Amino acid sequence: MKTAVVGLGIVGGSIALGLKENPDYTVFGLTRSESTAEYALSAGMISKGSTRPEEILPEAELVIICLYPDAMESFVRENAAFFRPGAVLMDVTGIKRGIVPQILAAKPPQCDFVFTHPMAGRESRGIKFASADVLKGANFLIVPAEGNRPESLALVEKLAKDCGFGKITRLSPEEHDRGIAFTSQLSHVIAVALVNASRNEAKVEALSGDSYRGITRIASINEDLWAELFMGNREYLLEMIALFEAEVDKIKLRLEESDPEGLKELFRSSARIKNTL
Amino acid sequence: MKTAVVGLGIVGGSIALGLKENPDYTVFGLTRSESTAEYALSAGMISKGSTRPEEILPEAELVIICLYPDAMESFVRENAAFFRPGAVLMDVTGIKRGIVPQILAAKPPQCDFVFTHPMAGRESRGIKFASADVLKGANFLIVPAEGNRPESLALVEKLAKDCGFGKITRLSPEEHDRGIAFTSQLSHVIAVALVNASRNEAKVEALSGDSYRGITRIASINEDLWAELFMGNREYLLEMIALFEAEVDKIKLRLEESDPEGLKELFRSSARIKNTL
């Protein structure tokens, strides 16, 4: 299958690498800069690369658009004439409610668009950090839209399996955005806040164990991408921050009241939930 | 050197394994249960094991006490008569201000006591999860006390290096407890709170990426140990929770005010701090 990856950053590049050895796919790259296309070609990630949509899109049976959320809609609208009739388009964006109606309105009617979220981001950015390993066993989310053909959904599921993704889950846009606000966005709020709180603390590195390193790994955050993701999901994210803060406050209260039994109850609860996952 | 490890849980067991192949050390184990001593013997972790202090302590030139904080003082006091004169004793406790004066008052005057904190804990507990790997490259903290002989501190530093620990840092009890409140205890507050907040959220596992897994790994917390650690350091921990919450509130405010530039500023700050570590 002739497959175009649009945007060869950490996600697009990793997907291209995940398909590299697979004879079912011939991978093309559409990039913003010449140098990225050249790098991808020389690394064997793609068999053809260009910065010109008209050289890549008309051939592609599957187009995997790996752009930031705010760039998605204009890319699809401006290139509507270049997509091959009958092609399946897909995205990899981390928020869905805002994007789904925009894209459905912008896409050419003869193409099906499948909304996905491969949960394989990394704190590094750019093609040089792309790696097929990050896809292995990672969760893959599909947000079916009205009008999606079953064959298109099946094609995207096959792609996810071929890349080595683990669990594949179908969700509504609301389920997706609420869930992601909790698991992914709140985790980034926590990491950023913890590292910013370390500003005036001494010897943090010498005093760090795996727990601190595990939380703060993602604090070297891609500011442009994550500002878009947070702003596009702010109501849910604010709700999740409030949920989290209420739980922090329970621990704080037990400490203020010198209540070790109350602390243990909260610890037992988290251990129980964690161990059932 | 004849070395006794008191308490063969995850930390004591891992240290015993770290010394196992080293001809400089002959390792004995003093355990609460017969079955732990038998397991350690049959696994080759120790060359002699017992539940009776009088069978282990009189021979040991170095005694590594790996007990929970609240059990430390009574162990040292009740066994004062059994320690070999001139022996170096050490602990591995995660809090220091409360323990240092207690232990200095309880130890026999002819033994030197070196306070340490190997930052190699794990969320699992018990000898079966012990592993020399967790020590490799981990931070090792020493809190010198008044009267510590330089040879005793050097002996403990050699032990840490022989076990494969990475950076070795000397700190005052206050520096230690404040730092640990931030890096270790606050990280555990965050993990417990986040997992407890997930109680009513749907499909958390299917929606998890590395960021959520990295934060919540430690939420399967040892309730007895961590209740002691938190209670023994509650003032500093409450201060650190407040610092963290103030940073979460900054992010919340930017979201409430729909201020993407303000968010980016906070992200740039965390990325800058993270990248200089």
- Whether B175 and A202 lie within 8 Å, measured CB to CB: yes
Residue B161 near residue B135 (C-beta atoms within 8 A): no
Query: Residue A59 region, left (φ>0) first, then alpha (ψ -120 to 50), else beta?
Result: alpha
CATH topology of domain B175-276: 6-phosphogluconate dehydrogenase C-terminal fold (1.10.3660)
Is the full-model pTM beyond 0.90?
yes
Q: Could B247 and A187 be called an inter-chain contact, meaning their C-beta atoms sit closer than 8 Å?
A: no
User: By CA distance, what is A205's nearest residue in B?
Assistant: B277
Neighbours of B203 (CB within 10 A): 18
Q: Give the angle subtended at the CA of A247 by the CAs of A243 and A252, to the nearest 5°.
A: 140
ipTM: 0.93
- What is the per-residue pLDDT for B126? 85
How far is the alpha carbon of A29 from chain B, nearest alpha carbon, in Å? 26
- Residues A130 and A187: their CA atoms lie apart, in Å, by 22
pLDDT of residue A122: 76
Q: Can you give the pLDDT at residue B6?
A: 98
- Predicted local confidence at residue A133, as pLDDT: 93
Longest dimension (CA), chain B: 68
- Tens of pLDDT, residue by residue over B123-172, are 778 898 899 999 999 999 999 999 999 999 999 999 999 999 999 999 99
Number of H helices, E strands in chain B: 12, 8
- Between chain A and chain B, the number of residue pairs with CB atoms below 8 A apart is 291
Q: What is the pLDDT of residue A264?
A: 98
pLDDT confidence tier of residue B244, bands split at 50, 70 and 90: very high
B-chain residues near A218 (CB < 8 A): 210-211, 214
Q: Using CB atoms, pick whichever of B167, B194, B255 lies closest to residue A237.
A: B255
Which CATH architecture is the domain B2-170 placed in? 3-Layer(aba) Sandwich (3.40)
Domain ranges of chain A: 2-170, 175-276
Give the Cα separation of B142 and B155 in Å (integer): 12
First-last CA distance in chain B = 37
Q: Kindly give, in sequence order, each residue whose CB lies less than 8 Å from that of residue A34, ignoring residues fewer than 6 positions away.
A: A51
Residue B247 has pLDDT above 80, yes or no: yes
Rounded CA separation A51/B234 (Å)? 58
Nearest residue, CB atoms, B248 vs list A198, A218, A241: A241
Kindly identify which residue of chain B lies nearest to residue A168, measuring between CA atoms: B206
Which residues in chain A show pLDDT less than 70? none
State whether residue B57 is helix, strand or coil: helix
